[in-house]
Amino acid sequence: MISPLAYIDPEAKIGENCEIGAFAYIDKNVIIGDNNTIMPHAILLSGTRMGNNNRIFHGAVIGGIPQDLKFVGEETTAEIGNNNTIRENVTINRGTASKGKTVVKDNNLLMEGCHVAHDSEVGSGCIIGNSTKIAGEVVIADNAILSANVLVHQFSQIAGYGMVQGGCRLNKDIPPYIIVGREPARYSGINIVGLRRRGFSNEAITNIHNAYRLLYNSGYNVSDAVKHIKEEIPQCPEVDSIINFIENVSTRGIIG
């Protein structure tokens, strides 16, 4: 299942039942697990760590050195979990001394031409659209969807269960459960279809809607809106996660 035309460094560690196509390149200091498919012309460079059941399509490059002038050759990794689909020409750079690793967790779809820069983290169950570019030290939580051609500023935080419209430029943090769109990018409602598909109850969706009504449509500033959310919306895990994101996770301020 390994093409004789593939290059695999003798120091690379390859698990069982892996399929490696012609002209694929597997560098030294690469470790991949079982049942992975590495298609022709895919490149896994030094520092790549990969779990099981991933599909890496043609021309993808994983583990390239960071596009960061502070990088001086330190030992870092690009870590890919399980059950990911990484389509053509995706690039995932390894980390720098800042965090030491770039991480893509489990069950993600990274579409053609997207880029994940150094020290970023993509959670599980995410979809990253064609040609979307994720700058360094970005954190994307589980079950987030970024459509095509989205540009994400470095250090941004994108919470889970939301959706970002294609072509958006993000320079603020994105709280959970919402749709972001328009130009300039801003809050465009809650991701009600996605929440229903994920099994959120009607009560939870109502609480999320009412929390964002206070945050975005009441005329309150952010701190006053959070105070009113705490006082007026029934306590539940979904509302707690909104409050926690605003108070403890966001570093760049939330999108307007």
Q: Read off the pLDDT of residues 68-122 as tens digits, 9 standing for 90 and up.
A: 999 999 999 999 999 999 999 999 999 999 999 999 999 999 999 999 999 999 9
Residue 229 located in a structural domain: yes
Residue 103 located in a structural domain: yes
- State yes or no: is 9 an active-site residue: no
- In this structure, the answer to whether residues 99 and 220 fall within a common structural domain is no
- In this structure, the answer to whether residues 101 and 35 fall within a common structural domain is yes
- In this structure, the answer to whether residues 17 and 92 fall within a common structural domain is yes
Q: How far apart are CA 42 and CA 58, in angstroms?
A: 5
pLDDT at 121: 98
pLDDT at 45: 98
User: Which of 120, 140, 160 marks a domain boundary?
Assistant: 140
- In this structure, the answer to whether residues 201 and 132 fall within a common structural domain is no
65 neighbors 77 (Cβ within 8 angstroms):
no
User: Which of 105, 102, 104, 111 has its CA nearest to residue 65?
Assistant: 102
Consecutive H or E run containing 104: strand 101-104
High-pLDDT (> 90) share of the chain, %? 99
- In this structure, the answer to whether residues 26 and 120 fall within a common structural domain is yes
- In this structure, the answer to whether residues 200 and 124 fall within a common structural domain is no
Tokens of 153: 């500023």
Residue 158 located in a structural domain: no
214 neighbors 229 (Cβ within 8 angstroms):
yes
Consecutive H or E run containing 203: helix 202-216
- In this structure, the answer to whether residues 106 and 31 fall within a common structural domain is yes
Residue 1 located in a structural domain: no
pLDDT at 253: 96
Residue 190 located in a structural domain: no
- State yes or no: is 34 an active-site residue: no
Residue 57 located in a structural domain: yes
pLDDT at 239: 97
Cα dihedral sign for 18, 25, 9, 116? negative
DSSP 212-232: HHHHHSS---HHHHHHHHHHH
Q: What is the pLDDT of residues 146-170, one digit of tens each?
A: 999 999 999 999 999 999 999 999 9
Across the beta sheet with 37-38, the strand order is 19-20, 37-38, 55-56, 85-86, 109-110, 127-128, 145-146, 163-164, 178-181, 186-190
Residue 254 located in a structural domain: no
* Catalytic annotation, pick one of 41, 81, 118, 160: 118
Residue 148 DSSP code: T
194 neighbors 163 (Cβ within 8 angstroms):
yes
Give, rounded to a whole angstrom, the gap between the first and last alpha carbons of the chain.
Answer: 51
* Catalytic annotation, pick one of 136, 160, 162, 194: 136
Q: Which residues span the domain enclosing 203?
A: 195-249
Domain of residue 98, CATH code: 2.160.10.10
- In this structure, the answer to whether residues 119 and 202 fall within a common structural domain is no
239 neighbors 211 (Cβ within 8 angstroms):
yes
Query: How many domains is the chain partitioned into structurally?
Result: 2
- State yes or no: is 41 an active-site residue: no
Please count the helices (runs of H) and the strands (runs of E) in the chain. Answer: 4, 27
pTM exceeding the 0.85 threshold for the entire prediction = yes
176-191 mean pLDDT: 96
Amino acid present at 193 = V
Across the beta sheet with 25-26, the strand order is 7-8, 25-26, 43-44, 61-64, 91-93, 115-116, 133-134, 151-152, 169-170
- In this structure, the answer to whether residues 119 and 200 fall within a common structural domain is no
Q: Is the peptide bond preceding residue 184 cis, with omega within 30 degrees of 0?
A: yes
- In this structure, the answer to whether residues 120 and 50 fall within a common structural domain is yes
Give me the chain's average pLDDT, please. Answer: 97
User: Which of 110, 125, 140 marks a domain boundary?
Assistant: 140
- In this structure, the answer to whether residues 20 and 131 fall within a common structural domain is yes
Q: Around 23, how many Cα atoms within 13 Å sit in the side-chain half-sphere?
A: 6
237-247 mean pLDDT: 98
- In this structure, the answer to whether residues 208 and 136 fall within a common structural domain is no
Residue 187 located in a structural domain: no
Q: What is the pLDDT of residues 191-225, one digit of tens each?
A: 999 999 999 999 999 999 999 999 999 999 999 99
* Catalytic annotation, pick one of 119, 125, 162, 194: 119
